Amino acid sequence: MKARSDELQIFVCVIECGSISAAAEQVGQTPSAVSRTLSRLEAKLDTTLINRTTRRMDLTEEGKYFFEHAKLILDQMEELEERLSSRQQTPSGRLRINAASPFMLHAIVPYIDEFRRLYPDIQLELNSNDLIIDLLEQSTDIAIRIGTLADSTLHARSLGCSPLHIVASPAYLEQHGTPLVVEDLSGHALLGFTHNEGLNQWPLRYVHGDRWPIQASISASSGETIRHLALEGQGIASLSHFMTIEDIRAGRLKVLLADFNSGYRQPINAVYYRNSQLALRIQCFLDFIQGKLAVYANADFEG
């Protein structure tokens, strides 16, 4: 006997939900029915997929392999059904997007109302994570990543790029003075990152190059945390245009050392697993957000 698609769906749902009872609630079955489906699937495959106890579940090596490929099969089936049923090319279905908190808050959330008006049949699921995630484990269709991509089996699409500004609040500058040359930064409180040392190399030209290494007075893992620290007058920060432009326009943050900025722009990429024909809902979102980010490519350093 061969495994059926509904059995694959139950298996994947159990793994994603973390328990048989949670999966049963989601698919509208009893826990015993879900458990029987898992046992039937394992019998068909003649292997153990999940080691189950009363307290926890753990995927076996065979289970991990099967989960990864079952997810891909179900995604392909979903894409096929969507394309066949969408004779009028109306994108629909659930779209799961993951991005670091600052990008989610400043470059996606402000455009959600417009996107939903354009594509009312797409159900959005927005998740934030400031660290690199596994798309399969996190059940993610698209992950937005800022900066240079490491070698990866994922497929990527460039969405544009964003300048970095050196910024501080008017209150901080009034109390501590305004740095006029790059070397003046040594006498100031600087705000840096804990998990990405590359972000502590600020894009500033000086006698030894165009990347100024800082010693942070305060470090944080999230750019949004650093932004709020800067707004509260705790120091000077180097932050992306997309998350500071409204603060700059409103005068809450001031751009510093613009004449010394090297002009480096952070790449913005969407990464995903599907390589050939993207699901229509994914393609629509990528086209939409790329259009919104196009303005950043030509952003100047004066804000």
User: Dihedral (C-alpha) 97, 98, 101, 102: value to the nearest 10 degrees?
Assistant: -70
Residue 83 has pLDDT above 70, yes or no: no
Q: State the pLDDT confidence band at 296, using cuts at 50, 70 and 90.
A: low
Tokens of 36: 């029987």
pTM over 0.85: no
Of 251, 103, 225, nearest in space to 167 by CA: 251
Neighbours of 291 (CB within 10 A): 12
Q: Which residue has the tokens 């500071």?
A: 244
CB 50 within 8 A of CB 63: yes
Q: For residues 212 and 187, what is the distance between their CA atoms, to the nearest angstrom?
A: 14
Encode pLDDT of 11-64 as tens digits.
888 888 888 888 888 888 998 999 899 899 888 888 999 987 767 788 899 988
Angle at 268 between CA 106 and CA 166, to 5 degrees: 65
Number of H helices, E strands in the chain: 10, 13
Output the pLDDT for position 300. 57
Output the pLDDT for position 198. 83
Q: For residues 141 and 94, what is the distance between their CA atoms, to the nearest angstrom?
A: 9
Share of the chain above pLDDT 90, in %: 49
Encode pLDDT of 183-241 as tens digits.
999 999 999 999 877 899 999 999 889 999 999 999 999 999 999 999 999 999 999 99
